[in-house]
Amino acid sequence: MKPGETILRLSGVVKEFPGVRALDGVELEVRAGEVHCLLGQNGAGKSTLIKVLAGVHRPDAGEIEWLGEKAEFGTPQAAMKAGIATIYQELDLVDEMSVAENVLLGHEPRRFGFVQKGAAVRGTRRILKNLGHDELSPDRRVGDLPAAGKQIVSMARALSHEARLIIMDEPSAVLSHDEVENLFRIIRGLTAGGIAVIYISHRLEEIREIGDRVTVLKDGRTSAVNLDAKTTPTRELVRNMTGRTIEYVFPQRESTVGKALLEVKGLARKGEFEDVSLTVHSGEIVGIAGLVGSGRSELLETIFGARKADAGEVLMEGKPLNGIRGAVRSGLGLAPEERKSQALVLGEPIYRNMTLSTFAGMAKAGFTAIQRERRAARLQAERLELRPPDVDREVSTLSGGNQQKVVVGRWLIGHTRLLMLDEPTRGVDVGARSELYQVIAGLAATGVGVLMVSSEVPEVLGLSDRVLVMKEGRMIRQAQANELSEEDILDLVIS
C-alpha cells in the first residue's frame, strides 16, 4: 500500500449500549502514512470508536472498510491479525515479564512447544532498533521501566504483529516534555514507512505538531471530518466539539448563597495538585471543570481527608478538619468518582448502603436500629424518587443513576451540609441525569453547599453558581458560571 492511499474507511457506524447510543453514525477515513487525530470531549464516543476498531465491540450498524474490503473484527485477535494494533492508555503489559516476552506475548517463536529464547531476543532487538531504541535491553523486566519505556514496548509489540494501523489513546498523558518529543520522532518514523496512526489527545499543540488531519466527534457523531491539523483555527475545532446536540434540562434555580462553609487554603499534594484555594458557601453550587488527570478527584479526596495533604489547610466553618471521620462529623460528604469500587457495598441491601455512615450513630449500645435505618432510607428513597423504591433490594440490582441516588441519600441521612460530588453523572443514562440535576439543585435550595467535579463542561456550566477551572493540578480560572461559555472553558483546558 502506497502512502496516501485510504486504508480504513468507516461509514455510518452505530454502537448502542443499554440506555445510550455511544456511536451514532461515525465517519472516518484514514490514509496510509498519515497521523489522523481524533478530537472530542469526554463522552463524545472516542473510546467506543477505538474499541470498535480494536475488535472489542461489534458495531450495531454501519460499515468498516479495511484495505479496500469490507471487514468485520469480531474479536481483538481478528483486528490484530488484520494489522490493527491498539495502545491503550493503561498499557496492558505484564510487569513481571521481560521486554522480549512482552513484545512477543502470544506469538513467541516456538519449536516443539518450547519458546526459542534466542530467536525471541533477536527479533525483539530488531524491532527495538527500528524504533530507534536499541539501548533498551530485551531482557529487562518491564515493571522496572518508566512509563515512556513501557510505551515503547507496547509499540514494539504492535510492530511485531506487522500492524499497518496503530491506534494510540492519549499516549502523551503519562509522558514528560522530552519523552513526548521522542514519541513524535518514533511516530514520524512509523508513518514514513507507510504505517497509519490514529492519535488521540486533548492537547491541541500536540495535534498541531504531529497530526496531518483531524476528525472531530461530538455526542457519538462526526461533527467534522478531515480538517487540516496544522491550519484549522482553534476556534473552529472547539466549536465543532461544543454545542450539544442532546440538550439536558438544567433546573432553574434561585441562587441563595449564604455564609462560608468550606474554606480551602493553599492545599497541595506533590505530583497531583498545588496551591488550591477555594471557598464554598451554604446554598451554593461550585463546579470544577478540567480534564481527567488534572488533579480534580485527588483534590476532593484530599479535602475529605482520604488523602494526606502536603501543604495547606481545610476549614469547615472556620475549624480545621481531621481525617475522614472528622470530616464526616463536621458535615462533609463525598460521593466518589468510582461508584462501585469506592462508594457501594454491592452485596448489601439499599438501606444498609444508605446508612453506611450513620448506622453507628443510630445504634443503641452497639445494637443496630434496623427499623429506624429502614425508615430513614425509605424517606430518602421517596425524596430522591429511587426506582424501585424497595430499600431491601440488593444495591447491585439498581441502574447507575439510582445507585448514585443511594450514595447521595447516604449523606442526606447524615445531615451533610457540604456535599462533594465527583463525576455525579458518569455511567448515568440521559433520563436519570436530569433527575440527578434536580436532586443536586434541590439540595442547594435547602442550604447545602455543593462542590462538584465533572468532565462534562455543559454540566458544570448548567448547574453551578461558580466555576473553577483546573489544569495540570492548578486552579487557572475562577468565575461566575454566567460569565463563562463552554468554548471559553475548553479553550482554557486544552490549549
Partner 1 sequence: MKRNAALIAVLIVLFGIGAAIRPDLYGDPAWVVNNTWVILQQAAAIGVVTIGMTFVIIGGGIDLSVGALIALAGVWSTTVATQQFGAAGMIFCALAVGLGAGLVNGVLIAYGRLVPFIATLAMLVAARGLAAQISGKQTQISGDRFINSIATTRLLGIPVLVLILAAVAGAAWVLLNRTTFGRRTVAIGGNAEAARLAGINVRRHTMLLYALSGICCGIAAIMLTSLATSSQAAAAELYELDAIAAAIIGGTLLTGGRGTIVGSLIGVVVFSTITNLFAIANLATEVQNMVKGGIIVLAVLVQHGGFHESSLSAWRRLYRRGSRLERSLHQQ
Contact in structure between 427 and 242 (CB atoms under 8 Å):
no
Binding of residue 363 to partner 1 (CB under 8 A): yes
Binding of residue 105 to partner 1 (CB under 8 A): yes
CB-based contacts of 194: which residues, under 8 Å, 6+ apart?
1, 2, 3, 32, 33, 164
Binding of residue 344 to partner 1 (CB under 8 A): yes
Binding of residue 336 to partner 1 (CB under 8 A): yes
Contact in structure between 398 and 406 (CB atoms under 8 Å):
yes
DSSP 172: G
Per CB under 8 A, the list member of 42, 182, 256, 342 interacting with partner 1 is 342
Q: How far is the CB of 80 from partner 1 (least distance, A)?
A: 7
CB nearer partner 1, residue 165 or residue 291: 165
25-33, 38-46, 290-298, 324-332 -> range binding partner 1 (CB under 8 A) = 324-332
CB nearer partner 1, residue 345 or residue 476: 345
Chain residues 399-438 in contact with partner 1, contact rule CB under 8 A? 410
CB nearer partner 1, residue 38 or residue 103: 103
Task: List Cβ<8 Å contacts ≥24 apart for 95-98.
Answer: 95/141, 95/142, 95/143, 96/141, 96/142, 96/143, 97/141, 97/142, 98/138, 98/139, 98/140, 98/141, 98/142
The side-by-side arrangement of strands in the sheet containing 84-87 is 84-87, 165-169, 196-200, 35-39, 213-218, 221-228
CB nearer partner 1, residue 394 or residue 487: 394
φ/ψ of 398, rounded to 5, equals: -85, 160
Binding mask 32-71 for partner 1 (x = CB under 8 A): -------------------x--xxx---------------
Q: How far is the CB of 328 from partner 1 (least distance, A)?
A: 4
41-49, 278-286, 351-359, 442-450 -> range binding partner 1 (CB under 8 A) = 351-359
Binding of residue 106 to partner 1 (CB under 8 A): yes
Mode of pairing for the β-strands spanning 285-289 and 311-316: unpaired
Closest by Cα among 205, 108, 36, 417 to 53: 36
Closest by Cα among 303, 58, 291 to 170: 291
Following DSSP, what letter does each residue of 192-237 receive, concatenated?
HTT-EEEEE-S-HHHHHHH-SEEEEEETTEEEEEEEETTTS-HHHH
CA distance 450 to 236: 34
- Total residues contacting partner 1 (rule CB under 8 A)? 40
21-29, 327-335, 432-440, 447-455 -> range binding partner 1 (CB under 8 A) = 327-335
Contact in structure between 458 and 244 (CB atoms under 8 Å):
yes
Binding of residue 357 to partner 1 (CB under 8 A): yes
Q: How far is the CB of 372 from partner 1 (least distance, A)?
A: 13
CB nearer partner 1, residue 116 or residue 255: 116
Residue indicated by cell numbers 502512502: 3
CB nearer partner 1, residue 35 or residue 152: 152
Binding of residue 472 to partner 1 (CB under 8 A): no
CB nearer partner 1, residue 154 or residue 455: 154
CA distance 288 to 277: 12
Q: Give first-to-last CA distance, the chain, whole Å.
A: 35
Q: Where are the beta strands (DSSP E) in 81-193?
A: 84-87, 110-111, 114-115, 165-169
Closest by Cα among 118, 114, 158 to 138: 118
Per CB under 8 A, the list member of 5, 63, 72, 92 interacting with partner 1 is 92
Per CB under 8 A, the list member of 202, 269, 281, 352 interacting with partner 1 is 352
Binding of residue 304 to partner 1 (CB under 8 A): yes
CB nearer partner 1, residue 323 or residue 431: 323
Chain residues 250-279 in contact with partner 1, contact rule CB under 8 A? none
Binding of residue 347 to partner 1 (CB under 8 A): yes
Site residues, partner 1 (CB under 8 A): 51, 54-56, 75-77, 80, 92-93, 105-107, 304, 306, 324-325, 327-329, 334, 336, 341-348, 352, 356-357, 359-360, 363, 366-368, 410
